[in-house]
């Protein structure tokens, strides 16, 4: 007859085997669901890199498809994509770090730092630029069809210097503004005495160990493990990696990968870069931008809804999403080197697989 202690050991082992089997079944179902969601990126097509973080641990970290079609280079965890407007959270963070240092105030008039702007900009503050409530004109609409070469952040300023008009009075409305974030990059340079890529590298990327992340300037440092952007053309794909807007840094010029963005995500939970007040400003509800299909606000470089923070990035050849559920310590990053689709809905669907409200087998 088996001893009572042996029975208990057997029961404990049985329970462990059963629970492990359930976990393995759930993990398999979840991975199968992810592969279905990511199917369009798989194979000999422009691809994507996917990261799922839970409690600071990478549960999914993998690439799909190709980073470089011409040379058959697979997308992976170290593939660097142009972040497009996901870059805005880094530009906002740079301004907030300078405010945290006391080098500037987010309520400074922008003309304290960029005095060449016309009189109509007198009432615009850095806060307005950060929250897209400045009313400054879109530089894309000011360039004209005959523009030669790529515009840079300083070129955006030059265009706005000639326009003594706004879309609306500063602070009265919300309108998403790439121009505003180009101006913020120039403010960072004026207030820090460093060029924008160097400030990002010195104050954000290096301290966090984001070794492969950079604000890309043609003729400067190469992008390591670079993904090239593509657009669908007929039944195939054509490389569409850059256009006339792609050299503006403040609104979208940063390249990064899912490995480095895991480090960026971690920085929002600790004090390595930001104090509590700075974090609250960046992720706070600065201005409401939508009520349908859900109430949504803009922080400083982040969109915010109940329980969720995110930003998408769209530029020629790239579509990206970074979504955080901070109360659940869950983050999904999905970076892709193709012109369509924006992967936000896919990122939400992948996040739902890890939110535990619905058992994986019933999704």
Region 203-220 average pLDDT: 97
Contacts of 322 (CB under 8 A, 6+ apart): 86, 89, 261, 265, 310, 311, 331, 332, 333, 334, 347
Integer angstrom CA distances of residue 359 from 60, 356, 363: 18, 6, 7
Confidence of residue 25 (pLDDT cuts 50, 70, 90): low
Centroid of chain to Cα 107 = 25
User: Can you tell me the distance from the alpha carbon of 253 to that of 216, in angstroms, rounded to the nearest whole number?
Assistant: 6
Q: Which long-range contacts (CB under 8 A, 24 or more apart) does 197-203 make?
A: 197/249, 199/94, 200/90, 200/94, 200/254, 203/94, 203/97, 203/273
Q: Which of 3, 5, 49, 85 is catalytic?
A: 85
What pLDDT was estimated at residue 27?
86
Residue 206 has pLDDT above 50, yes or no: yes
246 is catalytic: no
Residue 227 has pLDDT above 60, yes or no: yes
What pLDDT was estimated at residue 360?
35
Confidence of residue 23 (pLDDT cuts 50, 70, 90): low
Confidence of residue 15 (pLDDT cuts 50, 70, 90): very low
Question: Mind listing the pLDDT tens digit for each residue in 124-168?
Answer: 999 999 999 999 999 999 998 789 999 999 999 999 999 999 999
- Give the chain's radius of gyration (CA, Å): 23
Region 291-307 average pLDDT: 96
What pLDDT was estimated at residue 274?
96
What pLDDT was estimated at residue 4?
39
Region 250-272 average pLDDT: 97
What pLDDT was estimated at residue 357?
46
Question: Mind listing the pLDDT tens digit for each residue in 106-135?
Answer: 999 999 999 999 999 999 999 999 999 999
Region 200-212 average pLDDT: 98
Contacts of 46 (CB under 8 A, 6+ apart): 65, 66, 69, 229, 230, 237, 336, 337, 338
* pTM (predicted TM-score): 0.91
Domain segments of the chain as ranges = 38-362
State the average pLDDT for the chain.
Answer: 92
Q: H/E element holding 176?
A: none
- Furthest-apart CA atoms within the chain: distance in Å: 94
What is the CATH architecture of 38-362?
3-Layer(aba) Sandwich (3.40)
The answer to whether 343 and 258 have CB atoms below 8 angstroms apart is no
Residue 215 has pLDDT above 60, yes or no: yes
Residue 298 has pLDDT above 60, yes or no: yes
Confidence of residue 19 (pLDDT cuts 50, 70, 90): very low
């Amino acid at each position: 007859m088996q001893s009572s202690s042996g029975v208990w050991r057997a029961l404990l082992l049985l329970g462990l085997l059963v629970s492990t089997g359930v976990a393995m079944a759930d993990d398999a179902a979840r991975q199968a669901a992810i592969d279905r969601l990511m199917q369009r990126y798989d194979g000999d097509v422009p691809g994507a890199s996917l990261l799922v973080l839970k409690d600071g641990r990478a549960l999914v970290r993998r690439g799909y498809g190709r980073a470089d079609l011409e040379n058959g280079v697979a997308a992976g965890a170290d593939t660097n994509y142009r972040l497009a407007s996901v870059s805005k959270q880094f530009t906002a963070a740079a301004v907030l770090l300078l405010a945290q240092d006391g080098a500037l105030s987010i309520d400074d008039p922008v003309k304290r730092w960029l005095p060449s702007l016309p009189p109509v900009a007198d009432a615009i503050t850095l806060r307005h630029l950060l929250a897209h409530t400045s009313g400054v004109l879109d530089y894309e609409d000011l360039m004209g069809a005959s523009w030669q070469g790529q515009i840079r952040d300083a070129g955006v300023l030059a265009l706005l210097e000639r326009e003594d008009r706004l879309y609306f009075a500063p602070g009265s409305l919300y309108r998403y503004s790439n121009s505003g974030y180009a101006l913020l990059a120039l403010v960072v340079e004026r207030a820090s005495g460093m060029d924008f890529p160097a400030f990002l590298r010195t104050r954000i990327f290096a301290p966090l160990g984001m070794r492969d992340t950079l604000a890309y300037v043609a003729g400067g440092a190469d992008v390591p493990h670079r993904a090239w952007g593509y657009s669908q053309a007929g039944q195939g794909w054509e490389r569409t990696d850059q256009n006339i807007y792609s050299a503006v840094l403040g609104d979208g010029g940063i390249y990064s990968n899912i490995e480095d963005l895991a480090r960026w995500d971690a920085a929002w939970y600790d004090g390595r870069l930001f104090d509590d007040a700075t974090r609250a400003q960046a992720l706070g509800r600065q201005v409401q931008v939508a009520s349908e299909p859900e109430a949504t606000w803009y922080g400083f470089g982040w969109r915010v809804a109940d329980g969720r923070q995110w930003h998408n990035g769209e530029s020629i050849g790239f579509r990206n999403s970074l979504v955080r559920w901070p109360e659940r310590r869950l983050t999904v990053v999905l970076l892709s080197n193709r012109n369509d689709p924006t992967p936000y809905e896919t990122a939400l669907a992948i996040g739902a697989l890890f939110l535990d409200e619905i058992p994986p087998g019933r999704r």
